[in-house]
Homo-oligomer: A and B are copies of this chain.
Amino acid sequence: MRIRSSALVALITVTLTRPVHAQSIADRYRGDANRIIDAALKDSTAWNRLAEMTEKFGNRLSGTPALEQTIDWVIDRMKEDGLQNVRGERAMVPVWVRGDESAQMVKPRIQKLPMLGLGGSIATPPDGITADVLVVGSFSDLTAKAAQASGKIVLFDVPFSNYGETVQYRARGAVAAAKVGAVGALVRSVTPNSQRTPHTGGMSYDSTVRRIPAAAITVEDAEMIHRLVDRGERVRVKLTMSAKTLPDAPSRNVMGEIVGSEKPDEVVVFGGHIDSWDVGRGAMDDGGGVVVAWEAVRLLKRLGLKPKRTIRVVGWTNEENGGRGGQAYRDAHKGEVEKHVLAIESDGGVFKPQGFSFSGSDAALDLVKQIASLLDRIDAGTIVKGGAGADIGPIVALGVPGLGLNVDGTKYFWYHHTEADTIDKLDPNDMARCVATMAVMAFVAADMPDPLPRASTETR
């Protein structure tokens, strides 16, 4: 284990100060934390508000009126709630429109294939693409079968292992297939569980190879086609998509604040993304992330807990197909990034919370663990090292300590990017615990005497 000198200094500093700090932070805030938790657990407003928002407006893809109407509604409600500096900060977002689309197996028999085009895909010609299917089980399998790919639709039938790994086929499958001469790409939906449910999501092209249309089919049909081919059948599919990309359009990061009582220019920012894919109602991904942070702020206000620093709740726009909201936030707040003491994102569903992932210095990690210990009574106090969130990524990259809310993720990818991402999958008690978890972490970080120590430039 190699310890850099700066890290060693930090370590020594923390070790020397820890007893005093540990005592003071945990003890100082135990009473407030317990009040927050007790009040949160009695309240199902978060669930009700998320139900209302997602059912009033439906899904909220970048560029749609539904997204902007939702943002307007949030602004109105945040003002009613008495938040300060409520506003939408402009961000230009990509506009991808799905249009009509379908997939059908035409050989060895006619079978409609439930599908969703991947976000960013081009259209097929109006009459669709009809081609034989080449089934592959991995990128290396595609390489091995490259000679057979020309003129085919490549189907990536890759079982779910974990999201980060399996999503590569959704993101990069079209490029890999095009490189070996395929005319279309189909991916098995990225999920461990299916009820014949296609899952959409982003994909990207590459300037070195021609663009081919790409869509997700269901686990069931990917496996069926694979078995038909294994039985010696020739499988032929007709894919028809009319997707198009329009010029960028204006959207907004929506936000409101409790302005700090002593250090109003220092900021804890937290929230989720207000946009969603164009299926389901974006309850888990990620209306819930916005609503639990928002409810956390309302709860602090209701309890009269006024932190020394500013707490800012944000619904970032365009996480799903561009990440422009997070970038726009970084750019708009460039002058105050140094004053951001912590950024927290919830974008993994608002199921039963477990704690946070942390990106930042070891010294800050130590303090974050102390704060999190206040959440042990609801089993939400576990801190692990790792990523934080896509929307806060741009400012975390500039040195802002970042936390990502971790929840019981057992079922998250069952519904992720599908028509089934709806409020009924969420439990009001779990959401109330998420509110408590977000509120305790944000409040203590915003109120404690010293800001969380940042990583030195060298160790970032």
Enumerate chain B residues within 8 angstroms of A423, measured Cβ to Cβ: 224
CB distance from A39 to the nearest CB of B (A): 25
Closest to A105 in B: B58
**Contacts A51-B227, A227-B51 hold; do A195 and B420 have CB atoms under 8 A apart?**
yes
A414 and B195 CA atoms in complex are apart in Å by: 8
CB distance from A253 to the nearest CB of B (A): 24
Closest to A109 in B: B58
Q: Identify A194's interface contact among B51, B111, B420, CB under 8 A.
A: B420
B55 with A228: CB separation less than 8 A: yes
A422 and B194 CA atoms in complex are apart in Å by: 11
Residues of A in contact (CB 8 Å), total: 31
Closest to A421 in B: B196
Task: Give residues of chain A (414-460) contacting chain B, Cβ–Cβ below 8 Å.
Answer: 414-415, 418-420, 422-424
Q: Identify A422's interface contact among B56, B196, B281, CB under 8 A.
A: B196
Q: Copies of this chain, how many?
A: 2
Q: Identify A114's interface contact among B109, B231, B414, B419, CB under 8 A.
A: B419
A219 at interface, CB cutoff 8 A:
yes
Enumerate chain B residues within 8 angstroms of A228, measured Cβ to Cβ: 55
CB distance from A293 to the nearest CB of B (A): 23
B109 with A223: CB separation less than 8 A: no
CB distance from A133 to the nearest CB of B (A): 14
Q: Identify A56's interface contact among B108, B414, B419, CB under 8 A.
A: B108
Q: Identify A55's interface contact among B194, B224, B420, CB under 8 A.
A: B224
A399 at interface, CB cutoff 8 A:
no
Closest to A193 in B: B195
CB distance from A218 to the nearest CB of B (A): 8
A195 with B418: CB separation less than 8 A: yes
Task: Give residues of chain A (387-424) contacting chain B, Cβ–Cβ below 8 Å.
Answer: 414-415, 418-420, 422-424
A228 and B57 CA atoms in complex are apart in Å by: 12
A171-212 interface mask toward B, CB cutoff 8 Å, 1 = contact, 0 = none?
A: 000000000000000000000001111000000000000000
CB distance from A143 to the nearest CB of B (A): 27
A117-152 interface mask toward B, CB cutoff 8 Å, 1 = contact, 0 = none?
A: 000000000000000000000000000000000000
A362 at interface, CB cutoff 8 A:
no
A46-90 interface mask toward B, CB cutoff 8 Å, 1 = contact, 0 = none?
A: 000001100111100000000000000000000000000000000
CB distance from A112 to the nearest CB of B (A): 9
A325 at interface, CB cutoff 8 A:
no
A6 and B58 CA atoms in complex are apart in Å by: 66
A418 and B420 CA atoms in complex are apart in Å by: 15
Enumerate chain B residues within 8 angstroms of A52, measured Cβ to Cβ: 231
A280 at interface, CB cutoff 8 A:
yes
A418 and B55 CA atoms in complex are apart in Å by: 25
A57 and B111 CA atoms in complex are apart in Å by: 10
Enumerate chain B residues within 8 angstroms of A55, measured Cβ to Cβ: 224, 227-228
B420 with A196: CB separation less than 8 A: yes
CB distance from A458 to the nearest CB of B (A): 48
CB distance from A431 to the nearest CB of B (A): 16
Enumerate chain B residues within 8 angstroms of A418, measured Cβ to Cβ: 195-196
A111 with B424: CB separation less than 8 A: no
B424 with A219: CB separation less than 8 A: yes
Closest to A108 in B: B56
A415 and B114 CA atoms in complex are apart in Å by: 16
B195 with A109: CB separation less than 8 A: no
A224, A280, A281 interface centre (most CB from chain B within 10 Å): A224
A57 with B109: CB separation less than 8 A: yes
10 residue pairs from A and B, CB less than 8 Å apart: A52-B231, A55-B228, A56-B108, A58-B109, A58-B111, A196-B418, A196-B420, A197-B420, A220-B424, A223-B424
Task: Give A residues with C-beta under 8 Å from B.
Answer: 51-52, 55-58, 108-109, 111, 114, 194-197, 219-220, 223-224, 227-228, 231, 280-281, 414-415, 418-420, 422-424
